[in-house]
Homo-oligomer: A and B are copies of this chain.
């Protein structure tokens, strides 16, 4: 018979992989660790639950992200729990990892002013010293994001409220690292009935592009087929 308050408790933290797409490149928000362990290396934004502040772990993730970016992400979803004895030198640890999406435009101005936080292209992460198993976590988050991009419209959360098909297409291609058919994307936008049209807009030299935005009451649907592997 053990009393639960005598059981050795593992360290429990909440970390987030915040993605954005800038200049057709998928980037992750990394923060320079100010404390031990792994002081001075790059790690994911996150920390401990504060029971007085957070109603649940989603709030922990949001709070920690807001502290670094000044904004809450457009999209936030649980990724997976990582646990074990080896992943943290302080002992057995349990980390709930989230992945999140935000429009680069939304945080571009704030991010500069904040303490050691930085958007790093996912392709360049291997060149850096990354704390804990955060590299693995990011890799899994990237896979999940890629997979989900094949059958849903989540990439819109990397864009401003109003966006063009060209922009969406560019973001999708940055995420899955493969070209897609503009036509297929338009068919999906049409068929999903999730979006409404607005006025016009030009980006660079070219014809005006239709602006789309998510309908206020739209429920995000999943398509029954994936885009090409």
Interface residues of A (CB under 8 A from B): 4, 7-12, 48-52, 55-57, 78, 80-81, 83-85, 91-92, 94, 96, 224-226, 229
Contact = CB atoms under 8 A, between A and B. Distances in A.
A7 B60 CA distance: 14
Nearest to A86: B55
B81 A51 contact: no
Contact of A57 (B8, B49, B83): B83
Contact of A12 (B10, B55, B85): B10
Contacts of A226: 224-225
A224 B11 CA distance: 39
B81 A8 contact: no
A16 to B, nearest CB: 13
A81 to B, nearest CB: 5
Given A7-B48, A48-B4, A224-B226, A56 B78 contact: no
Nearest to A91: B51
10 contacts: A8-B51, A12-B94, A49-B94, A51-B85, A51-B91, A56-B83, A56-B84, A81-B81, A224-B225, A225-B226
A10 B48 CA distance: 10
B225 A57 contact: no
B55 A81 contact: no
Contacts of A49: 10, 83, 92, 94
A78 B226 CA distance: 23
B12 A51 contact: no
Contacts of A84: 55-56
A55 B85 contact: yes
Contact of A81 (B9, B10, B85, B96): B96
Contacts of A57: 81, 83, 94
Nearest to A98: B81
